[in-house]
Amino acid sequence: MNQLPELPERDLPPGRHRLLKEHLMTEIRQEPSEAPVRRRFLRTALVVGAVAAVTAVTVTLTVPSGQAERAATPDKRAGTNDAARLLEDIALAAEHAKAPADIRDDQFVYIKSKVGWTTQTNDEPAKLQPIHEREVWKSVDGRRKGLLDEPYQGFDDEPLDAELAGIPSNTNYRHLQTLPTDPEKMYAWLNRVSEGSNSKDEANFVLVGDLVRESLMPPPQAAALYRAAARISGVFVIDDAVDAAGRHGVAVARVDRGQRFELIFDKKTKEFLGEREVAVEDLPWGFKKGDITGRAAILERTVVDKAGQRP
């Protein structure tokens, strides 16, 4: 079995720990000292060799020099009470959502998205990836190998290792069904499980995003998660945010280390659309205030019978 190399544990958020376990080092972030430590930023690709040799490969970027994406909407914030009301509306919508019927352990959660994150090679200024498609197949019970198809990153039907049993932040459907359905207990679970980041509130908000991004949350647990998120300090509302597919929605957001991290929802249905990250000040690794530093959009989320199968 391939062995993972020793890696620094400094401020790795839970999503990064999970991705390392699931992807067997398929992708991992580079961490320059002045950059913030976040889940998907400053990445290099890693290729796992046949005899467990892991070789770093730098990411080639195609963002034109001097052309940065800018947030098209101003930073219009609503307060904490508005965030609590919005998250309650989102929780109610999640509570009444219908999960696919009769999900079997041998099936896979299929998620298609558009993404574009910040990358950095060596000591060069960080740059924003072009928006590109990503498809992932994740085992319902976490025991079977999944699949990743993200050609822009060089991943063509890349096998994903089965999840390691007993990891609290695992995102397979069967594990998510065991999470609390009571908001107070879910908040306690977030506090217990979240790790890394600059503060516990930041770590909790990152973990919420990790859970709703590339997984299928059962309705009772999803509702509890959003109600628990309302207890995270510093969360506010952005009235108009745009995901990687160009869809406008309303966002719950939080600012940390010079960036605003937005979880975007449909204004009417309150369905999760995607996320956006925006510099709120000039950043030391190259972005200016108002620049977009990451974006994603979930295009499809369903259950299929085997890895590689598309709906």
pTM of the model: 0.80
Tokens at 30, concatenated: 């580079």
Whether pLDDT at 170 is above 60: yes
pLDDT digits (tens, 9 = 90+) for 204-257: 999 999 999 999 999 999 999 999 999 999 999 999 999 999 999 999 999 999
pLDDT digits (tens, 9 = 90+) for 41-79: 322 222 222 222 222 222 333 333 334 687 765 566 765
Q: Which pLDDT does position 74 carry in this prediction? A: 58
Integer Cα distance of 127 and 149 in angstroms: 22
Q: How many CA atoms lie within 13 A of 181 on its CB side?
A: 8
Tokens at 259, concatenated: 């960036």
Looking at per-residue pLDDT, the higher value among 145 and 68 belongs to 145
Q: What DSSP string runs through 216-232?
A: ---HHHHHHHHHHHTTS
Residues 85-95: what's their mean pLDDT? 98
Q: Which pLDDT does position 180 carry in this prediction? A: 98
Q: Which residues of 244-261 are buried (b: 16+ CB within 10 A; e: fewer)?
A: beeeebbbbbbbbebbbb
- Answer whether 125's CB lies under 8 Å from 286's CB: yes
Residue 199 has φ and ψ, to the nearest 5°, of: -155, 165
Whether pLDDT at 268 is above 90: yes
Whether pLDDT at 30 is above 60: no
Query: Where is average pLDDT lowest: 20-29, 65-74, 162-171, 276-285?
Result: 20-29
What percent of the chain has a predicted confidence (pLDDT) above 90?
67
Query: Where is average pLDDT lowest: 25-34, 135-144, 256-265?
Result: 25-34
